[in-house]
Amino acid sequence: QVQLVESGGGLVQPGGSLRLSCAASGSIFSIYAMGWYRQAPGKERELVAATGSGGSTNYADSVKGRFTISRDNAKNTIYVQMNSLKPEDTAVYYCYAVATLTPQNRPMTYWGKGTLVTVST
């Protein structure tokens, strides 16, 4: 199994910054992609940012220019630096990883438990 542990959430004022971290552990053979989704109260979960094994990145239009995702392959850890935060960024942020446990396994998606980000005065 793969365990994902997120950290870095909290309360921040509008215009402020936070950095979320997500560390993957377990019997991991290979990680193909990692990223972040978020879910605000009463809304569907949406992709925030993602990074592939080759370093490619993808962002939601709503966070482009404000959020930056990065990856430390040696530590199986990803980060998202969130700047110029807005109240509409308030949500639970979930980390995910697409990984295999053995060379024969098909890739599966694993999820963290989420970390709450609240942007408010």
Count of CB atoms within 10 A of residue 110's CB? 18
pLDDT by residue, tens only, the chain of 121 residues:
899 999 999 999 999 999 999 999 999 999 999 999 999 999 999 999 999 978 899 999 999 999 999 999 999 999 999 999 999 999 999 999 999 999 998 999 999 999 999 999 9
SS3 114: coil
